[in-house]
Structure 1
Amino acid sequence: MSKEAPNFVVRGIFIGASIGVLGYLIGFLPNLPRAIALGMVPGFVAGITLARAHKSKQKNDTE
């Protein structure tokens, strides 16, 4: 059985987009597509950061 690594980037994009939608619903941003895009960008960066941290942690555990 192969253990597949979770896709942190996609998860970060989805979480960021949902936070953007919440920001739109609360009233911080007046435009829904812009709110989604503004949430997806930091979600993408957070996903990359989390994936790199996970990769380095696995690398240190095997040594």
Structure 2
Amino acid sequence: MFISDPTVLMHETESPAIDATEARWAAEYLSLILNQLDPSSPVTMVLTQARRELTSLAQSGTEAPRLRIAA
């Protein structure tokens, strides 16, 4: 799909840098992955830190408006 008018992708108001809904979703799925990993694994340590960061961003973020493009 080619978009000839890129302004259709822009919101009237400035979108937040972090969408709290997406950050919560990502943190939730990281939790599911972490449940499958060895607690002493270095990967677990890295993903745990990423989950903490996402949780923090979700708490301070705002809900982004949903983007709708007419077909």
Q: Please tell me the TM-score bracket, short chain as reference.
A: 0.3 to 0.5
Higher helix share: 1
Higher relative contact order (CA 8 A, sep 6+): 2
Q: Which structure's CA Rg is the greater one?
A: 2
